[in-house]
Amino acid sequence: MNSPGYARKEESLPPHPLYSEKELDYSDYKQYQPEIDGCPKKVEMTTLVAENIVVQQEEYTQCNEQERCDHVKPPQSILLKGLFSCIKAPMKTTTKTGFNIGSLFVKGTAFLAPMAGFANLPFRRLCRELGCDFVTTEMVSAEGLVRCGAGSEKLLADHPLDRPRAVQLFGADPGSMARAALLIQERDLADVLDINMGCPVRKVVSSGAGSALLKVPQKAIRIVEAVKKAVDLPITVKLRAGWDQSNICAVELGLRLEQAGADALFLHPRTKAQGFSGRADWSLVADLVDAVSIPVIGGGDVRSPGQALSHMLETGCAGVQVGRAALGNPGIFSKWPKVSVNQSGTWIPSPDERLSAFERHLQLYIEYAGEKKAALELRKHVPHYFRGIPGASRYKAAAQQAGSCDELLDLARKLLVPGT
């Protein structure tokens, strides 16, 4: 198998804990194929600053797997609003250091995106340890939660170092959403409640939840109003751009959600119809930022800290959420742009960095689920850690058969640091 685990049902995408494997049709996840697979490209970044306005210049070094890689790009400069001349200089002030989501102050701009089947407690902790400022749980069914579903409980696993975090709920019924939100607040499981209005998975959409709500704004608003009324926690909504290209609604809906009580908005600027194809349209993030007065966190196709910084500067968004690019590369957060830090270096992790992230991921997973489950469930992360390493396919195949954590670690060592 050479594609990441979320490509097809027959491969290793785990069932959504709420549903049995039979029930959930994973063909919707086909499009979750990350475009970055197989590319060990190196991005050198220089920063040019004039009057606190930054231009990022990324120089893509030739990738050594060129025949498989279409990501070798010519140097690319991004000219930012209001820039009249540039001088090469150390970065002074670039990004905001933090902002409020309702009453909660978030001390940074680096967000881990919710990823069902991947962004569970050990992965979130790993990302936090490596510099991520805020995490969101995998989506949790409001119905499952109010009916005390065991699957939902697992998704809510908590740890003091998993904070601040949002618990993401999905559902179509304002009453159940409000009850689920209250349960989460009463059990002190979240700092923020996030409402999913973007999931394109068929089973979720056909229940009227996720991106189906983009088509029925009145219901989306009723949900936010009901949740707001039920809890004191800050409320956020994670949106897609709209149902399809003819029905882009993020700005209009975002405004109404703000009026309904949302304290911040996450936007993945693709339509439901697009799934994961095409490119995220960050101009929609800029439009949403201009329209609303609450913080907007954008996300979609961000593959390097430099790109995150550029998006923040170009769109004015308060933070950037990273999903697929953090898989196998949680260290992306450790290179996150910080105020008063010169930007220079690569974002593709070295083999040593990959190995130490993988080792720590294993440790955290064992703590979370025990040795046996960790070995089984971490298999799907392996292709991400090995992405782009020459000769990785043999190891990826072997990792899918590995029966213990020691075996997995041994394989990782042999591939990443040969001779150890």
- Catalytic positions, written as ranges: 199
The CA–CA distances, whole Å, from 75 to 205, 278, 288 equal 40, 21, 29
Residue 117 interacting with ligand FMN (CB under 6 A): yes
Q: Which is nearer to ligand FMN, 115 or 260 (CB)?
A: 115
Query: Which listed residue (49, 86, 101, 113) binds ligand FMN by CB under 6 A?
Result: 113
Residue 380 interacting with ligand FMN (CB under 6 A): no
Rg, the chain, Cα only: 21
List the one residue out of 366, 368, 354, 356 whose CA is nearest residue 404.
Answer: 366
List the one residue out of 385, 387, 404, 272 whose CA is nearest residue 330.
Answer: 385
| Residues contacting ligand FMN: total by CB under 6 A | 24
Cβ of residue 355: shortest distance to ligand FMN, in angstroms? 23
Q: Which stretch in 113-121, 216-224, 228-236, 305-313 sits in contact with ligand FMN by CB under 6 A?
A: 113-121
Query: Which listed residue (165, 179, 268, 311) binds ligand FMN by CB under 6 A?
Result: 268
List the one residue out of 317, 229, 304 whose CA is nearest residue 267.
Answer: 317
- Taking CB under 6 A as the criterion, which residues in 166-205 touch ligand FMN? 168, 196, 198-199
Q: Closest residue to ligand FMN, Cβ-based?
A: 323
CA angle at residue 215 from 210 to 221, to 5 degrees?
A: 75
Q: Which is nearer to ligand FMN, 195 or 374 (CB)?
A: 195
Query: Which listed residue (261, 300, 328, 383) binds ligand FMN by CB under 6 A?
Result: 300
What SS3 class is residue 316? Answer: coil
Residue 118 interacting with ligand FMN (CB under 6 A): yes
Residue 6 interacting with ligand FMN (CB under 6 A): yes
Query: In this structure, what token pair is assigned to residue 149?
Result: 């579903």
- Taking CB under 6 A as the criterion, which residues in 17-56 touch ligand FMN? 32
The CA–CA distances, whole Å, from 309 to 17, 118, 119, 334 equal 35, 25, 23, 14
Q: Give the integer Cα–Cα distance in Å for 56 and 52.
A: 12
- Taking CB under 6 A as the criterion, which residues in 205-244 touch ligand FMN? 238
Q: Which is nearer to ligand FMN, 58 or 301 (CB)?
A: 301
Residue 330 interacting with ligand FMN (CB under 6 A): no
Query: Which listed residue (193, 302, 313, 375) binds ligand FMN by CB under 6 A?
Result: 302
Give the E-state strand segments of 145-271 in sequence order.
Answer: 165-170, 192-197, 235-242, 264-271
DSSP structure string for 73-118: ---EEE--TT----EE----S-S-S-EEETTEEE-SSEEEPP-TTT
Q: Which stretch in 41-49, 221-229, 319-327, 371-379 sits in contact with ligand FMN by CB under 6 A?
A: 319-327
Place of tokens 């002030």: 93
Residue 112 interacting with ligand FMN (CB under 6 A): no
Residue 128 interacting with ligand FMN (CB under 6 A): no
Q: Which residues bind ligand FMN (CB under 6 A)?
A: 6, 32, 113-118, 138-139, 168, 196, 198-199, 238, 268, 299-302, 322-325
